[in-house]
Structure 1
Amino acid sequence: MLSDEQAKASVSLNAWQSGLSDLAACVRFYSRLPVPKLPWEIDPHAAPDINGMARVVPLGGLIIALIPALVLACALLLNLEPWVSAALSVTAMTILTGAFHEDGLADMADSFGGTTRERRLEIMKDSRLGSFGASALILGLVLRIGLLATLATRLDPLPVALVTIASATLSRTTGLTPLVFLAPARLDGASHTVGQPSRDSFWLAAILAAFVVIALGWFGDFGRLGIGLMLLGAALAGLTVTRISARHLNGQTGDIAGATQQVAEIAAMLGLLIATHP
């Protein structure tokens, strides 16, 4: 029979293993990074625990953004122009994620062409890209590159690299908003199959994301106003897209979550740019 100390150690070990498994599942889900199988994992590609994964989304976003942030900092230190540096960073992020969220943004925009809820859901499920989707995809990339490039003219290479990490952390957490507060719009969709994160998990993730952004903002000298506007911008983006989804689809899909992440990333960087003087 285990002693009290041994039982506590066992519980602590299981908690660490569960947390690391959730983080590994999160990085696998949101990116194409080669995450090795952990020693205690039975099937690393099994459907993740949505609540456990939701709690560590901020950390997953941070890990995924490390390489794009490094690309941006190195490009700037090599005296490449801000627009080139920003484009390289966004390219790195797009490759790492397999354009996961960009696809959601394009599908959501295309769905605006539908006149009924059923038609909008049908359009979102269609793999073909329409004019609304192509426009949203192009404008989203241009805005992300433009905002990052402009910030690179106002901040040193290290702080602007931290912006990449902060916005990735915050926006991926914001992407959970429609999944948490709306029911799945389709009974045969991926969001219905995986399940909904609990509100408790979401608020834990939101607090962790805010802490990460505040810490990075303090280290990168974003200023109180800059940090505040990043948080506010992302929050408003999450609420806006969730409201649009509720009105047009009476629910949410995985594409809506991806679109929310893209809009939140743009809103967060725009908020920081407003607070950052030349």
Structure 2
Amino acid sequence: MARFVRHYLLSLQFFTRIPVTGRLADWVGFSPAMLRASAAHLPGVGVLVGGVVALFTWLLLALLPASPFAPLVAAVLGTVLSVLITGAFHEDGLADVADGLGGTQSRERALEIMKDSRVGAFGAIAVVLALLAKVGLLALLGSLHGAVLCVALFAGHVVSRFWPLLTIRLLPHVGDAAGSKSKPLADQISLGSLWAAVFWCFGALALVLAAQAAMVLVANFPAVQGLVLWLGAGVLASGLAWLGMLRWFARRLQGFTGDCLGATQQVCELAFYLGLALAWGAATRGGLA
């Protein structure tokens, strides 16, 4: 259990701005092997980040005046909070990937561009569009029901952090090994770590279903069966987005870099929200919602 906690805290330290300092940091320790093991807890980081953002969003919806714009305000401020917690870690990866793969057809030149800390036109456009899409989808889900928005935020942050681990498992790392701080993390992930990440995801989704079952009296909140289908649609859409990213990286780079992992998380999170929205729309047209 102590090793589990240490690896989880190291994952928090690496992927968020949550302070793990002083005596706590000394107790956690650090080594490349520990950083590799901490990858299993990336969805667990999503549990904390998504839980905090979902709780914050729920409080906002409860305190804001009743208005059609309330879900939009909550979506914007919730997104701001998520960026503050993570330090825009994944958004930075998305920007670098967009600059590298959007700016050239050359593999070597793309890898060189992705190492540059400056953000170019493709990167800026990609981040702006991703944030607009995220806020728009979340506001749409929030207009259906505040609880749907909170569920989407929590589950989306967890599920989207699982797919980069599959990328690590299936593709070689092709970044600058000497200069990449993510290189130990990007080494071949073990099957045990991958299964631990799966359990994080299943645990989070089971928690959502259990919480919904305890709130059956909430007006207009979907039945458990419906929620299972909507979550399944979100996971499916997220997985399809991951498959597209995987094929793109394999074709263009013959592998992945740390930036590719961040870009994958962002795209898969957006796809999860889109899957939920499309499933709700299909259920509504079919008379199931």
TM-score tier (shorter): 0.7 to 0.9
Match of 2:216 in 1: none
Shift of the 39–155 alpha-carbon distance from structure 1 to 2, 3 Å rule, reads same
- Alpha carbons of 1:147 and 1:239: their partners in 2 closer, same or farther (altered >3 Å)? same
Question: Is the counterpart of residue 182 in structure 1 residue 171 in structure 2?
Answer: yes
SS of match in other structure, 1:251? coil
1:43 deviation in Å? Answer: 5.7
Shift of 1:175: 2.2
Secondary structure (helix, strand or coil) at the match of 2:133 reads: helix
Match of residue 121 from structure 1: 111
Alignment size in residue pairs: 262
Aligned letter for 1:67? V
Question: 1:210 and 2:202 equivalent?
Answer: yes
Identify which range, 46-55 or 170-179, moves more after superposition: 46-55
- Which residue of the partner structure matches residue 61 of structure 2? 76
Q: What is the letter of the counterpart of residue 215 of structure 1?
A: L
Give the 3-state SS of the residue equivalent to 1:90 in structure 2. helix
State whether structure 2 residue 137 is matched by structure 1 residue 133. Answer: no
1:229 is displaced (CA, Å) by 0.8
CA distance in 2, matches of 1:18, 1:124: 34
Q: Deviations over 1:76-125 (max 9, x none)?
A: 11235211110000000001111000000111111121221110001101
Structure 2: how far apart are the matches of 1:276 and 1:37?
A: 47
Q: Which residue of 1 aligns with 2:211?
A: 219
Residue matched to 2:218: none
Report the TM-score, using the length of structure 2 for normalisation: 0.83
The AA in structure 2 aligned to 1:49 is M
Candidates 230, 236, 241, aligned match of 1:232: 236
For residue 90 of structure 1, what is the aligned residue in structure 2?
A: 79
CA contact (8 A) 1:107 1:124 kept: yes
CA distance in 1, matches of 2:60, 2:122: 33
Q: Is the 1:58–1:205 contact (alpha carbons within 8 Å) kept by the matching residues of 2? A: yes
TM-score normalised by structure 1 residue count: 0.86
Q: 2: CA distance between counterparts of 1:127 and 1:268? A: 29
**More displaced, 234-243 or 40-49?**
40-49
Please list the CA deviations of residues 166-205 of structure 1 after superposition, one character each: whole Å capped at 9, or x if unmatched. 1101111112222221111133333434423223422431
Q: Provide the C-alpha distance between the structure 1 equivalents of 2:174 and 2:110, rounded to a whole number of angstroms.
A: 11
**2:208, 2:139 → 1: CA distance?**
19
Give 1:166-177 correspondences, 5 Å limit.
Answer: 166-177=155-166
Q: Does 1:201 align with 2:190?
A: no
Alignment partners' CA distance in 1, 2:184 and 2:211: 40
Structure 1 position 143 matched with structure 2 position 129: no
The aligned residue for residue 160 of structure 1 is: 149
Q: Is the 8 A contact 1:26 1:57 kept in 2?
A: yes
Q: What is the identity, as a one-letter code, of the residue corresponding to 1:210? A: F
Determine if contact 1:190/1:253 at 8 Å carries over to the other structure. Answer: no
AA aligned to 1:205 is: A
